[in-house]
Structure 1
Amino acid sequence: MPGTAKAPEALREAGLHRRFAEQGAADAGVVVPGRYVDDDATRAPGVVRNERAMIDHARRLADRIDTVLASGAAPLVIGGDCSVLLGAGLAMKRRDGVGLVHVDGHTDFRNPGNSDVCASVAGEDLAAAVGHHWPALADIDGAGPYFDAARTAHVGCRDDDAELAEVRSVLGAVVPTSEWRARGTATVVKALRTTAGAAGYWLQVDVDVLDAAVMPAVDSPDPGGCTPHELIELLRALAPRAVGASITVYDPDLDPDGTHARLLTKVLTASLGGLGGELQEPRPAADR
Structure 2
Amino acid sequence: MNKTITIATRESALALWQSRFVAELIETQTDHVTQLLPMTTEGDQRLEVSLNKIGGKGLFLKELEQAMLAGQADIAVHSMKDVPADLPSEFQICAVFERADESDAWVSNQFPQLADLPAGAVVGTSSLRRQAQLLSLRPDLKVEPLRGNVNTRLQKLDDGHYDAIILASAGLLRLGFDERIKSRLTAPQWLPAVAQGAVGVECRADRPDLAALLAPLSDQRTWQCVRAERALNQRLGGSCSVAIGALAMQLADDSLVLRAGVFAPDGSRHITARQQGYDPEKLGAVVAEDLQAQGAAAILAMAG
**Higher strand fraction (1 or 2):** 2
How high is the TM-score relative to the length of structure 2?
0.28
Q: Which has the higher helix share?
A: 1
Rg larger in 1 or in 2? 2
User: Could you state the TM-score of these two structures normalised by the residue count of structure 1?
Assistant: 0.29
